[in-house]
Structure 1
Amino acid sequence: MSDDLVHDPKGGMPRLIEIMRRLRDPQTGCPWDIEQDFASIAPYTIEEAYEVADAIERQAWDELKGELGDLLLQSVYHTQMADEAGLFTFDDVANAISDKMVARHPHVFGDESRDKSAEQQVQDWERIKAAERAGQKQRGVLDGVAKGLPALMRAVKLQKRAARVGFDWPSTDEVIDKLVEEADELRHATDPDHIREEFGDLLFVVANLARHLDIDPEEALRGANAKFVRRFEAIEAALARQGRRPEDSDLAEMDALWDAAKARDKASRNT
């Protein structure tokens, strides 16, 4: 029965669940898969989520199906381990998220009106989430902000939580003043531990500034990374036309080539 399902090209979700069950079988499964636990698989889960985001950003729609499958496999993997430990099943996971979506959308699945602005719906969403946290006995304002999030993303979430209770700068001007202050403290830091601490403080304020400007700092940094790659590749291309490589050049020449690539970028944006 299970062999038929494993090899059924239209087996869908039951097929994937059965494949994972077979991979984890202590007698006949894959030795690597059997050895894994929640902690060892978690980094792969994060990596797969980023690969989904990367495919979307590149609009690589032909790759997205596969990347979403890789991410789905992570949920199935964790759920199989939980099932083996008697914690919960895949149906429990699916029902939990279904219950949450129904509860958080009373204007769709309940008797509340859909005649609301997007801003009002966000406020309602946050109110419902706050009630859920209270039911889970999360007493602190910052309780429940996942520690496993990328640090920059977690910084913004922590700041948003604090802002809800009034702990926030009134405008971007104060945030920029704080940014200058933290940069000066970093400049005067001496020992490695102090330098690391001040650098962290500076990044935290940068995240706060992004929040005040309504900018996703992760997205902004990805854009800066892409721009750096584009311009540095232009340097490499210019040198290659002369039969040279970056290590055959010097900073002054590469800086001039960078400025030329930057000028072309600006010109292309204005056309």
Structure 2
Amino acid sequence: MLKNTQHLLDIMARLRDPEQGCPWDLKQDFATLIPYLIEEAYEVVDAIERNDMDDLRAELGDLLLQVVFHAQLAKEHGLFDFEQVSQSLCDKLIRRHPHVFADAVFETDAERQAAWEQAKDEERQAKAKPEEPASVLAGVAASLPALLECEKIQDRAARHGFDWPDTPPVFDKVMEELEEVREAWKSGDPHHIREEIGDLLLVVVNLARHLDVNPELALKESTRKFTRRFHYIERQVASSGRSLTDCDLYELDAFWHQAKQALKRKAD
């Protein structure tokens, strides 16, 4: 296994060789690789959700390639190499699992989670500049999908006491923000409308967190459900020899309700 890892590193170095390497690989830098890194991560997730293990093996390889590529670029700039990336990860895993690699004892999952978060907080404090004390919100990547970033930010704040004590007030806040969206819409101010929509989405994420629901996955599932129902509508319209634009909303809505029933029976 280690032989294959070294072989992979050697291949990457050869691809980046200034004289004998691949022209495309030689053109890349950290920034240009970002879209590929994100795409490969999502393709790993897709393989998992489809329960396709053969594809998962291949997609994990593609994701690993991105790690190796970035490590090679860093090595060329004298920053770090793949071995140092691995060492950093090993150190972190050992540090965050004292109940496995040291003599710490945790009686519950909550205790283990608290210790994990404390270790992360200590790491953030260590990275902070002396003149700028580390925020408890530090380290949440701004490039995350908006729902995921929002959830992580709120989790951090909640762990430090900034949260509703229970769920009912969150429902009230959702209704309050929804009414503020309505008022903004009446004002006709696009900036104000966007701001209030953002506030509504933020508190909906908070509600999802209180209900122990992953908002990113929940929205993805609902989007897929919408897609399945819309495909049903398209099939019904096509079977009548028409296009969607030939139908009024009343008819399309009727097909929508048919889709809900038909797909529910199919799922059952």
Provide Cα deviations, 1:106-152, integer angstroms capped at 9, x if missing partner. 11121223x63222211221122222222222621211112121111
The aligned counterpart of 2:157 is 162
Provide Cα deviations, 1:186-221, integer angstroms capped at 9, x if missing partner. 222222222222221111111111111111001001
The aligned counterpart of 2:99 is 107
For the pair 1:120 / 2:118, whether they are aligned, the reply is no
| Percent of pairs with identical residues | 53
Provide Cα deviations, 1:46-99, integer angstroms capped at 9, x if missing partner. 121111111111112221111111111110111111001100000000111111
SS in 1 for 2:135: coil
Give the 5 Å matches for 1:8-19: 12-19=4-11
The aligned counterpart of 1:44 is 36
Number of matched pairs: 260
2: CA distance between counterparts of 1:77 and 1:264? 48
For the pair 1:258 / 2:256, whether they are aligned, the reply is yes
Q: Where do 4+ consecutive residues of structure 1 move more than 4 Å? A: none
SS in 1 for 2:33: helix
Runs of 5+ consecutive residues of structure 2 not aligned to the other structure: none
The aligned counterpart of 2:197 is 199
CA RMSD of aligned residues (A): 1.9
The aligned counterpart of 2:124 is 133
Runs of 5+ consecutive residues of structure 1 not aligned to the other structure: 1-9
CA contact (8 A) 2:44 2:60 kept: yes
CA contact (8 A) 2:121 2:136 kept: no
**Which of 14, 22, 32 does residue 22 from structure 1 map onto?**
14
The aligned counterpart of 1:5 is none
Q: 1:172 to 1:235 in 2, by over 3 A?
A: same
**Which of 57, 70, 74 does residue 49 from structure 2 map onto?**
57
Q: Which amino acid in 2 is paired with 1:148?
A: S
CA contact (8 A) 2:9 2:68 kept: yes
Given the two structures, how large is their TM-score scaled by the length of structure 1? 0.89
CA contact (8 A) 2:140 2:149 kept: yes
